[in-house]
Amino acid sequence: MDAKRLVFATEGREHQVVATFARFMGEQKGDSSAVTEISFDMSPAFIKGVREFLP
């Protein structure tokens, strides 16, 4: 990944934190459907969240 800055961080370890990120993107006039790469903890909860909330 070529990103040089953090875009989003929050507390929590459940799959809903990915929904929080998707909402944040919308509030910032971003498009969560345009996300092509992410870096995250490979916990089952986060994997579920990515599959559920990031197309």
Query: DSSP letter string over 11-34?
Result: S--STHHHHHHHHHHHHTT--GGG
The two counts, helices (H) then strands (E), for the chain are 2, 0
Query: Mean pLDDT in the chain?
Result: 88
pTM score, whole prediction: 0.76
Task: Extract the tokens encoding 11.
Answer: 């507390």
Place of tokens 């929080």: 20
Q: Are 25 and 31 in contact (CB under 8 A)?
A: yes
Mean pLDDT of 16-22: 93
Q: In which band, very low, low, confident or very high, does the pLDDT at 3 lie, cut at 50, 70 and 90? A: low
Q: How many CA atoms lie within 13 A of 28 on its CB side?
A: 11
pLDDT in tens, 44-53: 999 999 999 9
